[in-house]
């Protein structure tokens, strides 16, 4: 495979030589490093690279150059290599320009001169940006291929699973891709056996079950230990944070996830309020970082595995999975978050996965290119989805029952939406039915003031209408509130039955449930502040209390 490029531009010969030396020292085995002493020369070079089908992973440009400012140069590179990471070399006095560029240009980093020592000030930043670029980068000729009809629910399930587990794949529409036909011919596959999945080594599967596919692509399916210190149920931000802290503190930690790690956060196209990421980051990126971090510390992740019950034996917890397997642990953290509320209107079940989606904006956005799309709901997640899909779709319509989105969405989203010409907000409106032949074609809208109905064409309908706790599997093992969220800590003391279920002398620990040694964190916990940062905080904190509990057993 041809190595991707890192391109450095600076008119100051000394600075150019210094940064070239430092970048080359660390990255020359994985990247080709090219330098130019003028922005125009660099632009010529990258046009040539494009023609030769080369790829550029990262541009580094000085801000102050006589013929063109660094931000202008980086802006121009985006027209040719839109996915490359952008770093601006700045002096202290350029900080304002750089911060503006984070917003306007989506600059990835501004690097203050001098960057010595590079081990501290240059390489960690470049490693991070290059890892991020590698994760998004899909070379034309490699990877798993999924071949099917565009709007097939079966392949939607596979795409969602692979992208959620950060496994790169290439999607091939059987109707519009001549290459796809070649794969069908070579496997003798008929249309009704689709989707076809072709792995890197040429192995192929027809309409595979997720656990079978997971096994073949190397995702861990069985626990390696007989007993764990802590077992975490749910791989959203709370569960992932708990797993990082658990393993990092030396606890034998295992994480069970029923679909793919990342939870709700993984369907967020851009998280703008997560500390330390001023330009925001996608849910997929946050998940990728968290998975890498937790695996590095030694957490075992089993996915896809659904927990169906927890039994107690001599103070130990036995977690039962729907596939019949069981795992023993001393403590359990339940971090099963919330599940999307279903939209109960005619036609939705038929077209779920075939034009109607819960979340999934990041997976299906590309398929909405030049199409008319509807989104139900006016909360932050719905608005984030609209901002993401509008980059591809011809028209994005947000449908809400209220008068406006001002009470339900964050200010920055409201402002962004009002500035985006292809997003329309339909207030005092609801979707009453969806229709189509094989895939979604139309939806019917009702004006809630006049009850007037109209049917409009729609290629996709994304539903974001709230959520209920992921505790339906939990039966009565631990105490829940009247909405199904898990009660923990001092809230348990208010329960009339407290003395019946709590037999220890000490009080329940902060995130502890009505069963000693079973903890809950994140959105699933009653009275939790929802959100990614809170979930991460709660997951990390739960581990502290798990340690305390383990010390007393
Ligand atoms: C589209 C979208 C955008 C969002 N954007 C933002 C944002 O920008 N900023 C912000 O602060 N918040 C945002 N949120 C909210 C935020 O994502 C949630 O508050 C956060 O993910 C909660 O984390 P959690 O770990 O508690 O639960 P979840 O993220 O819900 O994760 C729970 C996990 O548990 C798994 N699970 C459930 N039951 C089982 C079982 N029986 N066995 C095994 N696994 C199970 C699920 O599959 C899931 O992966 C967004 C939410 C959505 C939907």
CA distance 129 to 256: 29
Q: Which of 545, 491, 540, 541 is nearest to 518 (CA)?
A: 545
Average pLDDT, the chain: 92
Q: How far is the CA of 117 from the centre of ligand 1 (A)?
A: 39
Q: What is the reported pLDDT for 138? A: 67
Q: Whose CA is nearest to atom 12 of ligand 1?
A: 531
Q: Considering all CA atoms of the chain, what is the largest pairwise distance in Å, rounded to the nearest integer?
A: 78
Q: How far is the CA of 163 from the centre of ligand 1 (A)?
A: 16
Q: What is the reported pLDDT for 516? A: 97
pLDDT tens track of the chain, all 553 residues? Answer: 689 999 999 999 999 999 999 999 999 999 999 999 999 999 999 988 887 778 999 999 999 999 899 999 999 998 888 889 999 999 888 888 888 888 788 899 999 999 999 999 999 999 999 999 988 776 655 678 999 998 888 898 899 888 888 788 888 999 888 778 878 887 888 899 999 999 877 889 999 999 999 999 999 999 999 999 999 999 999 999 999 999 999 999 999 999 989 998 887 777 888 999 888 888 888 998 999 999 999 999 999 999 999 999 999 999 999 999 999 999 999 999 998 898 999 999 899 888 999 876 667 788 899 999 999 999 998 999 999 899 899 999 999 999 999 999 999 999 999 999 999 999 999 999 999 998 899 999 999 999 999 999 999 999 999 889 999 999 889 999 999 999 999 999 999 999 999 999 999 999 999 999 999 999 999 999 888 999 999 999 999 999 999 999 8
Q: Whose CA is nearest to atom 37 of ligand 1?
A: 336
Q: Using DSSP, state whether 204 is helix, strand or coil.
A: strand
The pick from 211, 234, 319 for probing ligand 1's pocket by mutation, whose C-beta has the most ligand atoms within 8 angstroms, reads 234
Beta bridge mates, 356: 352, 461
CA distance 532 to 236: 9
Terminal-residue alpha carbon distance, the chain: 54
pLDDT tens digit sequence for 57-97: 999 999 999 989 999 999 999 888 888 999 999 988 888 88
Tell me the DSSP string of 385-454.
HHHHHTTT-SEEEEE-SSS-STTTS-HHHHHHHHT-TTEEEE-SEEEEEEEESSSEEEEEEEETTT--EE
Burial of 176 (0-12, 13-18, 19+ CB in 10 A): exposed
Q: How far is the CA of 468 from the centre of ligand 1 (A)?
A: 11
264, 266, 268, 273: CA torsion to nearest 10: 90
Q: Cβ < 6 Å from ligand 1: which residues? A: 233-239, 256-259, 263-265, 267-268, 271, 273, 306-307, 335-338, 359, 380-381, 384, 470, 473, 522-524, 530-533, 535
pLDDT tens digit sequence for 328-379: 999 999 999 998 898 999 999 899 888 999 876 667 788 899 999 999 999 9
The pick from 161, 243, 264 for probing ligand 1's pocket by mutation, whose C-beta has the most ligand atoms within 8 angstroms, reads 264
Residue 256 neighbours by CB distance under 10 Å: 25
Tell me the DSSP string of 304-319.
S--EEEEEEETTEEEE
CA distance 99 to 15: 22
Q: What is the reported pLDDT for 153? A: 84
Q: How far is the CA of 264 from the centre of ligand 1 (A)?
A: 3
Q: What is the reported pLDDT for 141? A: 52
Residues, the chain: 553
Q: What is the reported pLDDT for 441? A: 96
Tell me the DSSP string of 348-374.
HHHHBTTTEEES-HHHHGGGGTT-EEE
pTM: 0.78
> Helix, strand, coil % (nearest 5) of the chain?
35, 25, 40
Helix orientation angle between 283-297 and 237-248, rounded to the nearest 10 degrees:
20
- For residue 304, whether the previous peptide bond is cis, meaning omega lies within 30 degrees of 0, is yes
Q: Where would I find the H helices in 28-152?
A: 39-51, 70-80, 95-104, 118-121, 123-136
Asked whether the beta carbons of 58 and 133 are under 8 A apart, the reply is yes
Q: Whose CA is nearest to atom 48 of ligand 1?
A: 263
- Residue 485's φ and ψ, nearest 5 degrees, are -80, 150
Q: What is the reported pLDDT for 182? A: 79
Distances (CA, A) of 28 to 31, 50, 486: 5, 21, 52
Q: Using DSSP, state whether 20 is helix, strand or coil.
A: helix
CA distance 131 to 169: 17
């Amino acid at each position: 495979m041809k190595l991707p490029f890192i391109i450095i531009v600076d008119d100051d010969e000394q600075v150019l030589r210094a940064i070239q030396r430092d970048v080359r020292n660390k990255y020359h085995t994985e990247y080709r490093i090219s330098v130019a002493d003028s922005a125009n020369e660099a632009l010529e070079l990258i046009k040539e690279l494009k023609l030769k089908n080369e790829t550029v992973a990262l541009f580094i440009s000085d801000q102050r150059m006589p013929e063109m400012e660094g931000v202008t140069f980086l802006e121009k590179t985006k027209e040719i290599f839109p996915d490359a990471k952008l770093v601006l070399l700045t002096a202290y006095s350029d900080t304002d320009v750089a911060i503006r560029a984070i917003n306007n240009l989506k600059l990835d980093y501004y690097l203050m001169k001098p960057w010595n020592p590079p081990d501290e000030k240059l390489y960690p930043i470049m490693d991070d940006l290059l890892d991020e670029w590698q994760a998004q980068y899909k070379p034309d000729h490699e990877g798993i291929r999924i071949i099917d009809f565009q709007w097939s629910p079966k392949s939607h399930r596979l795409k969602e699973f692979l992208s959620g587990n950060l496994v790169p794949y290439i999607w091939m529409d059987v109707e519009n891709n001549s290459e796809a036909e070649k794969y069908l011919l070579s496997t003798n596959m008929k249309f009704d056996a689709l989707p076809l999945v072709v792995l890197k080594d040429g192995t192929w599967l027809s309409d595979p079950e997720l656990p079978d596919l997971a096994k073949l692509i190397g995702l861990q399916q069985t626990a390696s230990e007989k007993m764990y210190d802590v077992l975490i149920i749910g791989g959203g931000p709370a569960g992932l944070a708990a797993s990082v802290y658990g393993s990092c503190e030396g606890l034998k930690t295992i994480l069970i996830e029923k679909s793919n790690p990342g939870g709700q956060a993984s369907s967020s196209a851009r998280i703008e309020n997560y500390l330390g990421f001023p330009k925001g980051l996608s849910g997929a990126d946050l998940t990728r970082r968290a998975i890498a971090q937790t695996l590095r510390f030694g957490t075992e992740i089993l996915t896809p595995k659904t927990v169906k019950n927890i039994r107690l034996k001599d103070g130990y917890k036995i977690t039962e999975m729907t596939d019949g397997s069981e795992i023993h642990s001393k403590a359990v953290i339940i971090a099963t978050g919330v599940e999307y509320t279903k939209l109960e209107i005619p036609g939705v079940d038929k077209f779920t996965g075939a034009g109607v989606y819960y979340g999934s904006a990041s997976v299906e956005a590309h398929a909405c290119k030049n199409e008319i799309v509807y989104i139900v709901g006016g909360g932050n997640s719905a608005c984030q989805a609209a901002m993401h899909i509008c980059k591809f779709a011809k028209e994005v319509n947000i449908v809400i029952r209220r008068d406006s989105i001002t009470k339900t969405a964050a200010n920055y989203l409201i402002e962004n939406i009002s500035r985006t010409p292809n997003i329309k907000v339909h207030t005092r409106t609801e979707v009453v039915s969806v229709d189509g032949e094989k895939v979604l074609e139309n939806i019917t809208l009702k004006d809630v003031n006049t009850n007037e109905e109209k049917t409009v064409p729609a290629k996709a309908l994304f539903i974001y209408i709230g959520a209920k706790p992921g505790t339906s599997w939990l039966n009565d093992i631990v105490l829940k509130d009247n909405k199904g969220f898990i009660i923990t800590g001092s809230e348990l003391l208010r329960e009339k039955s407290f003395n019946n279920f709590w037999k220890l002398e000490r009080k329940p620990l902060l995130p502890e449930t009505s069963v000693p040694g079973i903890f809950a964190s994140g959105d699933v916990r009653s009275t939790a502040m929802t959100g990614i940062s809170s979930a991460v905080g709660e997951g990390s904190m739960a581990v502290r209390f798990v340690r305390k509990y383990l010390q007393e057993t």
